[in-house]
Amino acid sequence: MALTTAEVARLAALARIELSEDELARLAPQLEVILESVAQVTEVAGDDVAPMSHPLPLTNVFRADEVRPSLAAEQVLAAAPAVEDERFRVPRILGEGQ
């Protein structure tokens, strides 16, 4: 099934990409090759092959959350250049109305 330039234009509009007529004509056959390749991959996987998101097994590399001793808030704020209402004071980066 060959992609038409109208179908490619519709896809471009959905993706909010502006394409010229020359680009549509050039991209239609290229996208057709991509779609055919994806179709071939789906044919290879049989019912005995489980769907997977990664070819190798993944394990969680995060450590467990443990409560450990840390600095008191007063100690941390004592080293801050500016403090307001028991918090770090930082310069405003957005306007008043935002």
Q: Is the pLDDT of residue 97 over 60?
A: no
Domain assignment present for 98? no
Structural domain contains residue 90: no
Q: Which of 92, 96, 94 is nearest to 84 (CA)?
A: 92
Report whether pLDDT(26) > 90: yes
55-91: pLDDT as tens digits: 888 888 888 889 999 999 999 999 899 999 999 998 8
Average pLDDT over residues 7-18: 94
Round to whole Å and give the CA distance between 24 and 17.
Answer: 11
Question: What is the extent of the structural domain holding 15?
Answer: 5-44
**What is the 8-class DSSP label of residue 66?**
-
Residue 28, classified by CB atoms within 10 Å of its CB into exposed (0-12), middle (13-18) or buried (19+), is: middle
When pLDDT is averaged across residues 3-24 and rounded to a whole number, the result is 93
CATH code of residue 17: 1.10.20
In whole numbers, what is the pLDDT of the chain averaged over residues? Answer: 87
In a domain, 23, yes or no: yes
Tell me, what's the pLDDT at 65?
A: 87
Our count of domains for the chain comes to: 1
Separation between Cα atoms, residue 23 and residue 46, nearest integer Å:
37
Query: Do 51 and 58 contact (CB within 8 A), yes or no?
Result: no
